[in-house]
Amino acid sequence: LHHWVTASDKSTDHKFARFNRPIRVPTYTDEEYETHLKDAEWSKEATDTLVELCLQFELRFPAVHDRWVGRHSIEQLKERYYAVAKQVAQLHFARQESGEGPDEPKIAADDPILALTYDRKHEEARKSAFEVLYRRDRSQVAEELKLLEEARRIEHSLKLAKKEQQRLLRATDDSGGGGAGLGLGARWGGGGSGDKSSLSLGDGGNGGAGA
């Protein structure tokens, strides 16, 4: 990258260079590669090149893929890099815990790379779904908007119905155990108390008729 500076500025570093955070990429020996990192679909030379490109372009995988010579997709490059990085980090962390490898960079026990698993199939499915969404024509977009509007209308109606139901329940609770509550219990054939109220009212009516 290049930046505009004054003609009198003779410094070789940009003034914000001190804020750069250098990334760390996995480093491994030939023995470690043969023992822990071999993959049937990747040669050591290809793996070395991938790691070097990731360091050069600071894990910007679109740029890495642009410079890559081969038929691997971005997802395949990510999968290989993160698999190597995780395995190397676990090896270094194990040596660190056992007191070996004092010159190796320290790895925290909660470093995300120790548990990272890149799901290539999920990422490919996500990008495929996005491509389908992106390539919709206007009629498909209009139909989807229509469905969304209908869904919002239904949701609004359900909310209003729920509010009305809650209002009726509160009104019933406010009536307490008086006559209105008894009448409601008798009308709807409520529990035992409702049945007794119905019988009591019936007896009174018969008595009145007898009188």
pTM for the model stands at 0.61
Q: What is the pLDDT of residue 95?
A: 85
Q: What is the pLDDT of residue 2?
A: 64
**85-130 tens-digit pLDDT:** 999 999 988 888 887 766 777 888 888 889 888 999 999 999 999 9
Q: Which residue, among 24, 21, 22, has the nearest Cα to 85 in the 3D structure?
A: 24
Query: Three-state DSSP class for 35?
Result: helix
Pull the structure tokens for residue 127.
């990008």
Pull the structure tokens for residue 27.
């480093």
**163-211 tens-digit pLDDT:** 999 999 988 887 765 444 444 444 444 544 445 444 444 444 444 444 4
